[in-house]
Structure 1
């Protein structure tokens, strides 16, 4: 069962890394205009990821604390992005 937990965490981390890359790209391009479509994509990705984490936790594939930690990191980074975008207005 431990191997299954590790695999589930690894897959969730891969998905989190993809979202993190989207956030990084937008942060690097703050000099350009704000893009509502990009924000919508990020919000959609975050929602989908939160559902993945919820499923993994409910299925017993990952501990709740690990799932919450993954979400918390992404949410914090996304909040920093939105704060930076608001400052650019």
Structure 2
């Protein structure tokens, strides 16, 4: 069993978590469910909130600076907003 967590371990875990959220959103975009399912926004918001809690924990442990943590959350939010905007454009074009 590992006794200590390194900064690289923490960042790797956060990157994996963010990638999972991006995959979830991307899969929904591929199915055009983003614009048709009002509950999806709640799911995405919940996932982002959970990710931000993970980031706060890593920051509190001193493994990541507040600035680095804020940037990771902002990057994820921006990526998800771009995916949703692209899906909305595609849905509007197909009508």
- The two structures have a TM-score, normalised by structure 2, of 0.74
Tell me, yes or no, if structure 1 residue 62 matches structure 2 residue 33. no
Q: SS where residue 82 of structure 2 aligns? A: helix
Tell me, yes or no, if structure 1 residue 8 matches structure 2 residue 5. no
RMSD: 2.3
Q: Which runs of 5+ in 2 are unaligned?
A: none
Per the TM alignment, residue 85 of structure 1 is displaced from its structure 2 partner at its CA by 5.0
Partner of 2:23: 21
Partner of 1:39: 41
Seen in structure 2, the aligned counterparts of structure 1 residues 31 and 51 have a Cα distance that, compared at 3 Å, is closer
Structure 2 contact 56–69 (Cα < 8 Å) conserved:
yes
Counterpart Cα distance in 2 of 1:49 and 1:32: 20
Structure 1 contact 23–77 (Cα < 8 Å) conserved:
no
Partner of 2:74: 72
Per the TM alignment, residue 35 of structure 1 is displaced from its structure 2 partner at its CA by 1.0
Partner of 2:50: 48
Structure 2 contact 17–51 (Cα < 8 Å) conserved:
yes
Aligned residues: 87
Runs of 4 or more, structure 1, over 4 Å off, are none
